[in-house]
Amino acid sequence: MRKTGSFWYAEDKKRGGDLRLKKKWFIPLGILALSSWFLYRENNQIDTTAVTVQSDKLPAAFDDYKILQIADLHGKSFGSRQTHLLKKIDQLQPDLILMTGDLIDSRRDGEADALLLMEKLTADYPVYFVTGNHEVRRNFTILPKLEQLGVTVLRNTSVPLEREGQFIELLGIDDPTTTRWSEGLQEPDGIRQSLDQAQSAVDTSAFQLLMAHRPEYLPLYAERNMDLVLSGHAHGGQIRLPLTDGMYAPGQGFFPELTAGQHTIEQTKMIISRGLGNSLFPFRIFNHPELIVVTLRT
């Protein structure tokens, strides 16, 4: 039986319809794939920010001393068994690693990945830690585990850092939710109480380096004449649109000012890390995870 022209026309029309249908699905699938790649890159590409801090109070032995700040991991893993993050850190070869809180997240399971990172780091570097609000929410249960791994936990106390017989003072304070929940103090009063305890045995003529989770209390750190403060907590404002320092930060609200970079009041310089992980909001946008390397200069 011979196929008529109308039959071929119908077949061509059907094939054309199928092609248009495929094109119709191709565009949203392409957008979805590009969006997924973008979000993965934004949340997994680790930036390294180098900062130089010069002070006449630094002893000569600490010239070129390299400090790596890790902040706000929130239990995230970068590669299987933290391989990507560990490779980045080993390339930097710091003299000291300071973790400024929120190693874990109280809302999700990530403690094993966090502890694995600390175990690997303490094998090669001295590591110091202060609590963030998420450690407080978990009732500090991770702290004994960190100490067993060789991490020095500073809770409203200080230790001298020695190099070639010369010293600087390293101080660390608890997140202020500790005293807010346990003693009913307002957060500024809790910070002042923690600083009182941390400075009680400090040589105030020495260079003072403070680890403090919260950046919004910079004026209180400046009251105590801290020379250098390392903070985190703000996650870089989470979404960093042009002409903003981020859209939101806990403790500061919308359009916060203290989310990243360097900030100074009188002699006190504060460096804020954008951190590595996420918490309540699951994505960073235009705000890569960050490691900060501070090099001291005399």
User: Which helix (H) or strand (E) covers residue 281, if one does?
Assistant: none
On the 0-12 / 13-18 / 19+ scale of CB atoms within 10 A, 152 is middle
Output the six-digit token pair for 59. 């002893």
Output the six-digit token pair for 161. 């850092």
Residue pair 268/218 in contact (Cβ under 8 Å)? The answer is: yes
Strands (E), the chain: 47-54, 66-70, 96-99, 127-129, 152-153, 157-163, 166-172, 208-211, 228-231, 248-249, 253-254, 261-265, 268-272, 290-297
Cα-Cα end-to-end distance for the chain = 96
Closest CA to 72 of 243, 237, 296, 297: 237
Closest CA to 94 of 128, 126, 58: 126
Could you tell me whether strands 157-163 and 166-172 are parallel, antiparallel, or unpaired per DSSP bridges?
A: antiparallel
Which value, in Å, is the radius of gyration of the alpha carbons in the chain?
A: 25
Residue 226 exposure: Cα atoms within 13 Å on the Cβ side: 31
The per-residue pLDDT string of the chain (298 residues; one tens digit each, 9 = 90 and over) reads 445 555 444 555 555 555 555 566 666 776 777 778 888 889 999 999 999 999 999 999 999 999 999 999 999 999 999 999 999 999 999 999 999 999 999 998 899 999 999 999 999 999 999 999 999 999 999 999 999 999 999 999 999 999 999 999 999 999 999 999 999 999 999 999 999 999 999 999 999 999 999 999 999 999 999 999 999 999 999 999 988 999 999 999 999 999 999 999 999 999 999 999 998 888 999 999 999 999 999 9
Q: What is the pTM of this model?
A: 0.90
Q: What is the DSSP letter of 150?
A: T
Q: Which residues of 208-220 are buried (b: 16+ CB within 10 A; e: fewer)?
A: bbbbbbbbbbbeb
